[in-house]
Amino acid sequence: MPRIRTLGCLVVVASLCWLAAAHAAPDYTGKTLRLIVGTSPGGGYDTYARAIARHMPKHLPGKPNLIVQNMPGAGSLIAANYLYNVAKPDGLTFAMLISGLVMEQTMGTEGIKFDAGKFQWIGAPSVGMPACAFMGFSGVKTLDDVVKSKKTLTMGAAGSSTREQPRILKQLIGANVKLVPGYQGTAGIRAAMTRREVDGACWQWVSMKITARDMLNAKGDDRLIPVLLQGDSSDPQVKGLPKYTDFIKGAEDLEAFNAWMAQYRFFRPFAAPPKAPAEAVEVLRKAFKATLEDPEFLALAKKTRMTIDHVSAGDVAAQVKQVLAASPAVKAKLRDIIGN
């Protein structure tokens, strides 16, 4: 009997050791992680992703290599579908997506092959501040000019924000604007504005102030002039600009707009595949947070005018849940405003 008890204890100890090893934090020594960016190179998403990827490895066990792979298309829909259905859930692949995809799922957009509620969210580096701007050659300098313009102002469109904001301008504020879709990210839209193909565009101030800095600082017809900002910024180029909510009066319209705005409370979110090991995801979350608090990274962010406001994985998941829980009435109203 004593021998049987001894063997039994050894089995239990061995099992516990195996379980502890199975649930131990991963060691990435000698490995390469891949960060997929769902937008084209040269835009705000790409800028943030590459800056984070440059500093994140030192906060990961084993200090692995971390490569950035752009996978643009359909407002990061291609990247999201890939992460959900194709990427190996081994803790080595994660992605930066456009938060607007969550609203697109809510609205039943065609082509979505994922459930945003099942992604393992890592966090987000900032919150979003939707903004609209027009070139000097367009002839408008203020939002009032845009609303009263007799000329139909053309606006370049690529992903969800660049497409939906002009529709809100038109439907809820009465601006005389027309979408020109088909551009590859905000980099393509910026190039189109400099070629005078379109009069203006809407995307995010935290991106616009970095990637369009030369245009914002230009003079005369070549200057990009912000006319609207949904948010509070101390930057003198947008401080005090009117907001969407200054003009939206109807209760139903305001409720729909606020539901739409929820996606900007977790801007540029990072996610891992649904079945990625929980231990690996937790390591990525801790390393992500540590990167955003890293003095060297923050010095780079300040130098390049990046806005950093860490949104935790839990907060991202809560906001995603809120967006997905939009009522049928709100969905119907949003379809009237921004389409499907």
Which of 276, 307, 279, 314 lies closest to 292 in space, CA to CA?
A: 307
pLDDT of residue 10: 44
Tokens 């194709």 label which residue? 86
Which of 303, 236, 311, 293 lies closest to 47 in space, CA to CA?
A: 303
pLDDT of residue 283: 97
Residue 322 per-residue DSSP state: H
Distance from the Cα of residue 185 to its chain's centroid:
13
pLDDT of residue 22: 43
DSSP 214-255: HHHT--GGG-EEEEEESS----TTTTT---GGGT--SHHHHH
Q: How many whole angstroms separate alpha carbon 340 and alpha carbon 98? A: 17
The runs of H, that is alpha helices, within the chain are 2-22, 44-55, 77-85, 100-106, 143-148, 160-168, 185-194, 205-211, 213-216, 251-261, 278-292, 295-303, 313-324, 328-338
Which of 313, 262, 320, 268 lies closest to 287 in space, CA to CA?
A: 313
pLDDT of residue 24: 63
Distance from the Cα of residue 246 to its chain's centroid:
25
**What are φ and ψ of residue 4, in 5° steps?**
-65, -45
- Reported as a single tens digit per residue, the pLDDT across 47-103 is 999 999 999 999 999 999 999 999 998 888 999 999 999 999 999 999 999 998 998
pLDDT of residue 21: 40
Query: What is the pLDDT tens value at each position of the chain, 340 positions in all?
Result: 444 444 444 444 444 443 434 456 688 999 999 999 999 898 888 999 999 999 999 999 999 999 999 999 888 899 999 999 999 999 999 999 999 899 889 988 889 999 999 999 999 999 989 999 999 999 999 999 999 999 999 999 987 789 899 999 999 999 999 999 999 888 899 999 999 999 999 999 988 998 899 999 999 999 999 999 998 888 899 999 999 999 998 899 999 999 899 888 998 999 999 999 999 999 999 999 999 999 999 999 999 888 899 999 999 999 999 899 989 999 999 888 887 6
Can you read off the two tokens belonging to residue 227? 């006319």
Model confidence, pTM: 0.77
- Reported as a single tens digit per residue, the pLDDT across 214-228 is 999 999 999 999 999
**What are φ and ψ of residue 196, in 5° steps?**
65, 30
Residue 140 per-residue DSSP state: -
**What are φ and ψ of residue 262, in 5° steps?**
-55, -30
Cβ atoms of 40 and 191 within 8 Å: the answer is no
In the chain the domains, ranked by start, together with CATH numbers, are: 32-127+266-338 (3.40.190.150), 130-262 (3.40.190.10)
Q: How many whole angstroms separate alpha carbon 319 and alpha carbon 261? A: 10
The runs of H, that is alpha helices, within 156-221 are 160-168, 185-194, 205-211, 213-216
